[in-house]
Amino acid sequence: MLRKWEVDIEKLYEGNRITVARAISLVENEAEGAKGFLKEIFPRTGRGYRIGITGPPGAGKSTITNRLAQFYRKQNLEVGIVAVDPTSPFTGGALLGDRVRMTDVEMDEGVFIRSMASRGSLGGLSKKASEATDVLDASGKDIIIMETVGVGQSELDVARAADTTVVVLVPESGDSIQAMKAGLMEIADFFVLNKADRAGAEQAVMSIKMILNFKKSDGWVPDVLKAIANEGIGTPEIAKKIAEHRAYLEQQGELARKRKARLEERIRELVADTLRIDFWTGERKAMLSSRIESLMQNRSTPYDLAQELIDDFRKQQLT
């Protein structure tokens, strides 16, 4: 059933690959009708389980994603993958092209892979990537894997978007392990030490576990698994741990809580985006430009001008 967004909804629900690709492009490019399209498919979302894979560059996130997709396909589960790459400063497009590193599953009809640009998202997960997971969810994917760029910045948006978050490290990730104290540790539902055949693997595992021991928890306690993803070693254990975490969330009511928080966050973002567009009219842009000089000369303050702009906006809403 074609609508003004030129995507056949029924074919999307059937998982038609071309239709899924077209739908994600519609959302990613913010084309006309994208918001209406997302409204249309929303009731069909919520069935797919969302897994976030993050960690520093070179840790083997794509390889682990590839192996997990193979594992789930053997269970006859449909898999969707959103690989978020750094944004090209010239084209705005995905730079790394994770599909190149996922040749084992890219031809599988039960696997859909999409590389997307981070577009400046600080946590490495584009807002559009979150909406792309909705498209994959509505298309019938049982498992949706979000692999993020892992640039060492805040990864909080990964945790918000995923039901289970996996942080991948390697024995050489000494700096990253230290950085975990500043936030990465907080978002991991469990860790995977990849390339565990390398020197220093045992010490790295001990370092992570030592940090974990300082965290008091009455609920789920993150574990540390070892893997050699290139050889497929550790994949069943990773999948098993994901299943354990999912069961824990469902039993404790945490899965519903996480998804509720995710919806609340999305509503805040939608409201903020709409208000930002409505706020910055030509008049207020001109007001801002005309007052910059007085700010530079310390005759006014940013706080005064911000309040003036807000007062002007409120006044306009009342008229």
* Residue in 128, 63, 68, 65 with CA at minimum distance from that of residue 269: 128
304, part of any domain = yes
161, part of any domain = yes
pTM of the model: 0.86
Indicate whether 197 and 166 sit together in one domain. Answer: yes
261, part of any domain = no
247, part of any domain = yes
Coil, strand or helix: which one is 149? Answer: coil
The pLDDT value given to residue 179: 54
pLDDT digits 0-9 by tens, 169-193: 898 876 556 655 556 677 889 999 9
268, part of any domain = no
Indicate whether 31 and 135 sit together in one domain. Answer: no
Q: Which residue has the tokens 């949706």?
A: 144
pLDDT digits 0-9 by tens, 202-245: 988 988 888 777 665 668 889 999 999 999 999 999 999 999 99
Indicate whether 70 and 146 sit together in one domain. Answer: yes
Coil, strand or helix: which one is 299? Answer: coil
Indicate whether 116 and 176 sit together in one domain. Answer: yes
Indicate whether 171 and 34 sit together in one domain. Answer: no
265, part of any domain = no
As a whole number of angstroms, the distance between CA 6 and CA 112 comes to 20
Give the lowest-confidence range in 5-19, 93-107, 180-194, 228-242: 93-107
Q: How many structural domains comprise the chain? A: 3
Indicate whether 39 and 55 sit together in one domain. Answer: no
Q: Which long-range contacts (CB under 8 A, 24 or more apart) does 73-77 make?
A: 73/105, 73/108, 73/110, 73/111, 76/110, 77/110, 77/142, 77/143
Indicate whether 116 and 24 sit together in one domain. Answer: no
Boundaries of domain holding 294: 280-318
The pLDDT value given to residue 183: 63
Indicate whether 115 and 26 sit together in one domain. Answer: no
Which residue would you say has higher pLDDT here, 165 or 180?
A: 165
Indicate whether 19 and 103 sit together in one domain. Answer: no
**pLDDT class for 299, splitting at 50, 70, 90?**
confident
